[in-house]
Structure 1
Amino acid sequence: MVKFENDWDDLLKDEFTKEYYLKLRKFLVSEYKTQRIFPGMYDIFNALKMTSYNDVKCVIIGQDPYHGEGQAHGLSFSVRKGIAPPPSLVNIFKEIREDVGVDNTGKHGELTKWAQNGVLLLNSVLTVRANQPRSHRGMGWEQFTTDVIELLNLREKPMVFMLWGSDAKAKQQFITNPNHLILRAAHPSPLSAYNGFFGCRHFSQANAFLRSKGMEEIDWSID
């Protein structure tokens, strides 16, 4: 049984006995034994471990983990310190600098501070084969992360959902609670960032929304 050591434990306790998850787990056991899989098995659920249900202020939904050596560690768009920030994250930092004046460039790419500050960095698919993007699509992770989104949607306390790109936007149908704010934009990858990610101003909009609800803003610096 997966342990999150926070309120997700009770909320997701039945998830791991569902038929789809048992099939997914069987698949993952085989994959980790026979393939190079990212992130490491103890990092798969880091997003939920680092950001409890009640503490979520903002949800940033990614696609699947980075597939390069040493990059993925269980938080969407994040890489561990010492690993060069990938192009999508570089573009995120550019938009943050233009939007709220916080300059994270030239530091590192680890977003743990965001996670600890209430930003749930959740990929749609939580594992991937090395150098094979989207290789674990359709194996069951989409159901798991949709169930997480549906639980978040039920919460009365407001939060912001940032949906970047088609995979993230596909989750919008599960966000129906008018208490929450949905922000949509193109994906921050170099292929699409100029088609609507740059200039989206999601970071200032998120903080304005949280302020309007009497909640603490998000510090978008990484230090």
Structure 2
Amino acid sequence: MVTGEDALFDLEPAEAAHPGFAALCELPLEELMATDWAEALRPVEDQLRDVLAYVSGRAADGSQVLPAASNLLRAFSQPLADVKVLLLGQDPYPTPGHAVGLSFAVSPTTRPIPRSLSNIYRELHDDLGLPPRVHGDLSAWSDQGVLLLNRILSVEARNAGSHRNKGWEAITTAAVTAVANRTDASGRRIPLVAILWGKDAEAVVPLLAGAPSVVSAHPSPLSASRGFFGSKPFSRTNELLVQQGADPVDWELPAL
């Protein structure tokens, strides 16, 4: 099974020895993501191949596509079966060196961290009393079953939103639907809470099959003061998980 520790998915935004965007178009789904994600996304494989071809074409034409090919599908490296929280973002950070394939996260070495993430840390402190970190590595959350998924999985450097309406929406719609409709052996829904920040994220509520959601304004500097601060998303999410019989998330990030 593919995990976040395998060579395809790096914490750093560098390409390292990865073959690049063009090779992604040819690899089987099982080499691009966890096995159960490959099965869940099989119905949209053709659409995924199309959008990977578009991304590869833009890179071949000289555009700087973010994140690196090694991290493009990183959100799907952790097993679908382990997901208990969906934290949905918009599209990757367009600043070179920032996007790492997990929504809101950056490389452990990125300084300063993006302002949206700084606002998330401020709310984390106000909500749970946890210390803000100087780094933006959120992999400790994804390791616990927090799916850090952007609605759009690629972007061109310094051009926010540049890969909207290129095909990613169909892939992430299928991903959200797959997460929301999981059942256990007895047919009961597997616990899930969605954290939806901003209108783009809130728009997926109809896909959640009744799973509870924690909705607020986006943590960006433009909107954080209009409903994000004070929304207590972390404690509310844990309460909703416990109500469903699931373990809460330990939201404290390790210090580097």
Deviates more, 1:144-153 or 1:121-130: 144-153
Counterpart of 2:71, as a letter, is: D
**Is 2:246 aligned against 1:212?**
no
Once the two structures are aligned, what percentage of the paired residues are identical? 35
The match for 2:72 is 44
Deviation, 1:29, is 1.6
Counterpart of 1:26, as a letter, is: A
Deviation, 1:5, is 3.1
Write out aligned runs for 1:1-223 (5 A). Answer: 1-2=28-29, 3=31, 4-17=33-46, 20-34=47-61, 35-49=63-77, 51-83=78-110, 84-105=112-133, 107-155=134-182, 156-177=189-210, 180-223=211-254
Deviation, 1:205, is 0.7
Counterpart of 1:14, as a letter, is: P
Q: Could you say what the CA RMSD is over the residues aligned between the two structures, in angstroms?
A: 1.2
Deviation, 1:89, is 0.4
Q: Distance in 2 between matches of 1:104 and 1:160?
A: 23
Q: Distance in 2 between matches of 1:25 and 1:213?
A: 37
Deviation, 1:104, is 2.5
Counterpart of 2:159, as a letter, is: Q
Q: Which runs of 4+ in 1 moved over 6 A?
A: none
Deviation, 1:25, is 2.5
Deviation, 1:174, is 1.2
Deviation, 1:32, is 1.7
Q: Distance in 2 between matches of 1:44 and 1:10?
A: 18
- Residue 121 of structure 1 aligns to a residue in which SS? strand
Stretches of structure 1 lacking an aligned partner (at least 5 in a row): none
- Residue 7 of structure 1 aligns to a residue in which SS? helix
Counterpart of 1:62, as a letter, is: G
1:99-154 CA distance string (max 9 Å, x none) = 1111123x310101100011000000000000000000000001110111111121
Deviation, 1:9, is 2.0
Which structure would you say has the larger RCO, counting Cα contacts within 8 Å and 6 or more residues apart? 1
Stretches of structure 2 lacking an aligned partner (at least 5 in a row): 1-27, 183-188
Q: Distance in 1 between matches of 2:53 and 2:73?
A: 17
Deviation, 1:26, is 2.3
Counterpart of 1:196, as a letter, is: G
Q: Distance in 1 between matches of 2:226 and 2:100?
A: 28
Q: Distance in 2 between matches of 1:61 and 1:5?
A: 19
Q: Count residues in correspondence.
A: 217
Deviation, 1:14, is 3.3
Deviates more, 1:211-220 or 1:34-43: 211-220
Q: TM-score, normalised by structure 2?
A: 0.81
Q: Distance in 2 between matches of 1:220 and 1:85?
A: 18
Counterpart of 2:168, as a letter, is: W
- Residue 215 of structure 2 aligns to a residue in which SS? strand
- Residue 183 of structure 1 aligns to a residue in which SS? strand
1:3-60 CA distance string (max 9 Å, x none) = 313421222233222xx334322211201212100001121111110x3211111111
Deviation, 1:160, is 0.6
Deviation, 1:173, is 1.8
Q: TM-score, normalised by structure 1?
A: 0.93
